[in-house]
Amino acid sequence: MGISLSKLTEGCCLSLKDLKPLDLDAYKSDKSMSSVDNVLECDDKYIFIEEKSFLLDYYRLAGIEIDSYLKPVNGEISDDFLQRISKLDKEVKKKLMYQSLYEKTISSVDKVKDTTFILCGDDDFCNKKVKNAITIYLYCQSGEPIDNLLTKVFDLKKAKSKDKFVACKDLIKILEKKGC
């Protein structure tokens, strides 16, 4: 049995739905603007949350590396595919994970900028909370050994970025730590 795509895709973090994020669509003057996936309002700041499917992108990149494109069957990544990429050199796997990290986070820069613009389009929202806003990249884990590499890569980044990369299972704990 392979890995279910529902464990890896954006929207996999069910606890996020209970947090009642702001609905920014009502505040967009330009409907073509894209905002971050979720905005939580805390006492002293906004938390911008981007859900990212780092592992799914990693598998896509690994497939390219082994000349076998990722082709899920019945909503799952096959054991055969996972077996083939498991034979990749550890350094290649690490490089692919960093590439996924880079590609997924760089795509959020404009969304964060647009979200700030949307919030400041309404005087009720444009305040010190916008200035103190932080961005969290939320990801789900697969329950497979590759999670260890993902965790190691993010732990190195987390040390420099104060809980910027958060596993879904840790979201509530991190929000409490940040005063939300």
Asked if 14 and 147 count as a contact pair (C-beta separation under 8 A), the reply is: no
Quote the percentage of the chain above a pLDDT of 70.
87
Q: Tell me the per-residue pLDDT of 117-146, one tens digit each, with 9 for 90 and over.
A: 888 876 767 788 888 899 999 888 777 777
Compute the distance between CA of residue 77 and CA of residue 58 in angstroms, rounded to an integer. Answer: 12
Q: Taking 80 as the threshold, does the pLDDT of residue 50 lie above it? A: yes
How many structural domains is the chain composed of? 1
Distance of CA 72 to the CA centre of its chain: 21
Compute the distance between CA of residue 16 and CA of residue 38 in angstroms, rounded to an integer. Answer: 9
Asked if 63 and 121 count as a contact pair (C-beta separation under 8 A), the reply is: no
Q: Give me the helices (H) in 77-145, please.
A: 79-86, 90-106, 109-120, 128-131
Quote the percentage of the chain above a pLDDT of 90.
15
Q: Tell me the per-residue pLDDT of 1-26, one tens digit each, with 9 for 90 and over.
A: 577 777 777 677 877 778 888 877 76
Higher pLDDT, 174 or 5: 174
Q: Tell me the per-residue pLDDT of 25-44, one tens digit each, with 9 for 90 and over.
A: 766 666 667 888 889 988 88
Residue 154 is predicted with a pLDDT of 75
What residues make up the domain containing 92?
3-177
Q: Tell me the per-residue pLDDT of 145-159, one tens digit each, with 9 for 90 and over.
A: 777 888 777 777 655
